[in-house]
Amino acid sequence: MTDRSATLARAAALRARFQGEGAEVVETPILQPAGALLDLYGEDIRGRAYVTADALRGEQMLRPDFTVPVVQMHMARGGSPARYTYSGEVFRRQEQDEDRANEYIQVGYEIFGGDDPAAADAEVFALIAEALSEFGLRAATGDMGLLLAAVRGLKTTERRKAALLRHVWRPRRFRSLLDRFSGRVPMTPARKALLAAEDPLAGAGPEIGCRSRAEVLDRIAALRADAEAPPIPGHVIEALDELLSVRETAPFALEHLRDVAVDLPAIQPALDRMAARIEALAARGVDVERLDFEASYGRTSMEYYDGFVFGFYAETRPDLPPIATGGRYDALTRQLGQGRAIPAVGGVLRPGLMQQLAGEGAP
């Protein structure tokens, strides 16, 4: 087991290092009001966070991460450009694997604002890569912005696009929506009959509960409209599949994605941002020729990253979770900023895992 004081010393050193890069040290409460986290992550967060309650403040959670409170703090301050660093415990409920820590130290570095997102992405990645350089980790990178741009640019109904965007982070549901919208999965006979019925609610029983009859009829109208809309063409679905399957070193991935953009022209601006990021990373001294890029990386993690995403893995220890992770989360600032938004990118490191790796290196 790792020594807690050694982990804390390592955390303090990391935070001091980020402070040296110009970041302001911030602290956030450990107990967070549950409402904001539930609104953001939905009920799934209850499986990952410890929930407690009192009669006055209602439900609260032991902070499962720093991102949400740091964004809230930043937005409350007025949201002008800033760099922050922090260090402290986060708590993760574990129900499947006893070996995974339910409490550990995270050290983070976040950049809010600025007018050069590529440079900010590269800064966060490079600073974390440098802090981890002694461990010889493998970096994985991706870009959620590509898939989001591809979906937003589909030539189909706004309703379909909204449904797909809602489930970008749930690959299985995303896939079943695509199957339906492309006509790969035919409508069931029961559904056909319902949409054809003159009075779909005939004999359906009394109206009970808060979801009204009007809401049921609205959805039937929406389903009827959807049945009229042309299917998303097969070559577009294939292009989306191709996009999601891209897994190469960054420069090759970019080239490959430029080909995909012939069928998905809407990803062009996202590709230009990716190209600018690769340049900015190279300028920061990152060996981009050997940097892995996976277009579907970040799809199953916490659902707030909407651009660049990355993680650092110890290849000799596949049993360990990533040593550091991060990404861009512009949309989260809009969600938590009550109408205001600000570009944001950041990452967290786990000094406890670093300590474990350092221990292994010793004789």
Placement of tokens 């221990």 in the chain: 359
Give me the phi and psi of 248, to 5 degrees please: -150, 180
In the DSSP assignment, the letter for residue 314 is -
283 binds another protein (CB under 8 A): no
Q: Does 223 bind another protein (CB under 8 A)?
A: yes
Binding status of residue 190 toward another protein by CB under 8 A: yes
Nearest distance from C-beta of residue 231 to another protein, angstroms: 17
- The smaller minimum CB distance to another protein, of residues 4 and 219, is found at 219
Q: Count the site residues for another protein by CB under 8 A.
A: 38
Among 218, 255, 272, 360, binds another protein (CB under 8 A): 218
Binding mask 191-210 for another protein (x = CB under 8 A): x--x-----xx--xxxxxxx
Sign of CA pseudo-dihedral 162, 167, 171, 175: negative
CB of 47 to another protein, least distance (A): 6
Q: Where in 32-51 is the site for another protein (CB under 8 A)? A: 38, 42-44, 46-47
Q: Which is nearer to another protein, 207 or 289 (CB)?
A: 207
Choose the binding region for another protein from 75-83, 188-196, 278-286, 311-319 (rule: CB under 8 A): 188-196
Angle between helices 351-361 and 4-20 in degrees, nearest 10: 110
Name the residue nearer to another protein (CB basis): 180 or 247.
180
Neighbours of 237 (CB within 10 A): 19
Contact status: 57 vs another protein (CB under 8 A): no
Q: Is 170 in the site for another protein (CB under 8 A)?
A: yes
- Please state the closest distance from residue 208 (CB atom) to another protein, in A: 5
Residue in 8, 26, 163, 275 binding another protein, rule: CB under 8 A:
163
Start-to-end CA distance of the chain, whole Å, equals 16
Does residue 262 bind another protein (CB under 8 A)?
no
DSSP H or E stretch at residue 156? none
Q: What is the DSSP letter of 254?
A: H
Lookup: tokens for 198 = 């003159």
The nearest distance, CB 350 to another protein, in angstroms, is 24
| Residues contacting residue 211 through CB under 8 Å, at least 6 positions apart | none
Pairing of β 24-25 and β 82-91: parallel
Q: Alpha helices, DSSP H only, in the chain? A: 4-20, 34-41, 67-76, 117-131, 144-152, 158-166, 171-181, 189-196, 213-228, 234-245, 250-260, 268-283, 330-336, 351-361
Binding of another protein at residue 266 (CB under 8 A)? no
Q: Which stretch binds another protein (CB under 8 A): 135-143, 189-197, 264-272, 280-288?
A: 189-197
CB 148 within 8 A of CB 306: yes
Asked if 96 touches another protein (CB under 8 A), the answer is yes
Which positions lie near another protein, rule CB under 8 A?
Answer: 38, 42-44, 46-47, 95-96, 98, 163, 166-167, 170, 172-174, 176, 180, 190-191, 194, 200-201, 204-211, 213, 215-216, 218-220, 223
